[in-house]
Amino acid sequence: MKNDVAERNTPIITLENVHIQLGNRTIQEDISLTVNEGEFIAILGPNGAGKSTLLKLLLGLIKQSSGSVRVLGRAPRRGNTDIGYAPQHRVLEADLALRARDVVGFGLDGHRWGPGWPSRQRNEIIDKALKEVNALHFANAPVGQLSGGEQQRLLIAQALLTNPRLLLLDEPLSNLDITHGQEIVTLVRNVCRARNAAVLLVAHDVNPLLNVIDKVIYVANGNSTIGTPDEVITTETLTRLYGSPVEVVKALGRMFVVGAET
């Protein structure tokens, strides 16, 4: 079930006519959008379209060349504890000796309960996050021996440590099969609803997310648009974004984009 409309009227992110240039490459020509409190949004688009770049912009890791960016009422800044971020993740080495709870604890480094606080509070915060992602039972396991889905849950726990109002998840479903991907989607949906946090989740396939997301941001060929999946994932809209013929096929409650590298 999606979020209640009444909860979704406070802007958390506002981009106005934002142009992003990296080196001599234009990543976004003119992106404008608003994300409201508690919204669950998928960021979609082909490889290299600029999905991760959009997250980096919100994190203050890169800067727009023109236009206005507001996140939680301010210009983006590094180290904003109101934002939880889980970067793109590759499966960890099997012989990595760190425990799961140590990996989650890295999310506190640089914050109030960082490594200088080997305290009860630090452990309580880590345990609370582990519980929220249903990972307490493997808290002391060597992280390299955990499955891709279990490792992904740890990254989400890490991102939750500072009680963020905005969660940015970069491809949390990559490397997961359908069942484990669905577990992560349900988990993120529950977190989003329980905390009324906005979530931006980068993905390659909208289908595992169709029943839970409020909107999609689709980026392609330097262009972007935001709306519900039914508004955005259409032959007409995607052909305009890509600047070349694209066909959207809908079957069995799923959406397929044909004619573009997705």
* Of 113 and 218, CB closest to ligand ATP: 218
Please report whether residue 253 would count as binding ligand ATP according to CB under 6 A: no
Q: Residue 243 contacts by C-beta under 8 Å, 6 or more apart in sequence?
A: 221, 223
* Of 143 and 199, CB closest to ligand ATP: 199
Rounded least distance, CB 196 to ligand ATP, Å: 27
Rounded least distance, CB 220 to ligand ATP, Å: 9
Q: 7-46 mask for ligand ATP (x: CB under 6 A)?
A: ---------------xx-x-x-----------------x-
Among 52, 123, 175, 235, which residue interacts with ligand ATP (rule: CB under 6 A)? 52
Virtual torsion, Cα 222, 223, 224, 229, nearest 10 deg: -110
Which residues in 180-199 contact ligand ATP (CB under 6 A)?
Answer: none
From CA 172, how far away is CA 107, in angstroms rounded?
17
Count of residues in the chain: 262
**Residue 198 Cα to chain centre, angstroms:** 10
Coil, strand or helix at 209:
helix
Stretch that binds ligand ATP, among 48-56, 100-108, 235-243, 251-259 (CB under 6 A): 48-56
Contact 212, 189 (CB under 8 A): yes
The number of CA neighbours under 13 Å toward the Cβ of 62 is: 18
From CA 10, how far away is CA 19, in angstroms rounded?
24
Among 31, 35, 49, 58, which residue interacts with ligand ATP (rule: CB under 6 A)? 49
* Of 184 and 217, CB closest to ligand ATP: 217
In the DSSP assignment, the letter for residue 89 is -
**Contact footprint for ligand ATP (CB under 6 A):** 22-23, 25, 27, 45, 47-53
